[in-house]
Structure 1
Amino acid sequence: MSRAVQNLRAARGRDIAARALAAVPLNYAVTSALTMLIARLLPGDAAQASIAATTLSFAIFAGIAMTAFAVRSALRLWIGLVAAGLVAGTADWLLIAVGGRL
């Protein structure tokens, strides 16, 4: 086996590992931050908003997991997920700080 083929296989392995890490643990963190944000923004009482947001979170998690293996660049995937997580986390923190419902 040539050196180029070995390098290509190693690069593919790193790409798959980066996508798998984005598809599960990073996805879980982003989905939980988005779920908290959605639960705070939905109208109605806290219990109904929480149930609706949790139900929606399954679709969000599945969509992000599928996207993790569909996008062309793992780097752009990570940048997008980290940015979405930071925005959702910051919005959650701000809503709590100004007196939003817990």
Structure 2
Amino acid sequence: MPLVSRIVAAILGGYALAALASVAALALPIARPQAVLTGMLASFALYAGAVIWVFAVRSATRAWVGLLMAAAVLMPAAWVAWHAGGSA
């Protein structure tokens, strides 16, 4: 069961983290097209890093906690960018 949990964390948790990073990049003080490109490029690196993290840590619980902590860091910027809409 821990292996299944890690696989789910890698696939779904990594995807969620990458999506959050992609949206959070829109809060950067740069032009909107540049922010979109930056978010897309950063999301690929974050997804790969999340998959590596999930299988490198000691337990599946630590993998989930690590993903949740990273998501908690990105959430405020993603929230601001999401609710700012097209005002930038």
TM-score (normalised: structure 2): 0.81
Matching residue of 1:39 = 26
Give the percent of matched residue pairs that are identical in Structure 1 and Structure 2.
34
Moved over 3 A (4+): 94-102
CA distance in 2, matches of 1:47, 1:91: 17
Per-residue deviation, 1:67: 1.3
Matching residue of 1:21 = 8
Pair 29,69 (structure 1): closer, same or farther in 2 beyond 3 Å: same
Per-residue deviation, 1:20: 0.3
Task: List alignment gaps of at least 5 residues for structure 1.
Answer: 1-13
Per-residue deviation, 1:21: 0.5
Amino acid at match of 1:22: A
Contact preservation (8 Å) 2:10, 2:50: yes
RMSD (Å) for aligned C-alpha atoms: 2.3
Contact preservation (8 Å) 1:46, 1:101: no
Q: Over alpha carbons, which structure has the higher Rg?
A: 1
Match of 1:52 among 11, 33, 38: 38
Per-residue deviation, 1:45: 1.0
Aligned length: 88
Contact preservation (8 Å) 2:26, 2:36: yes
Task: List alignment gaps of at least 5 residues for structure 2.
Answer: none
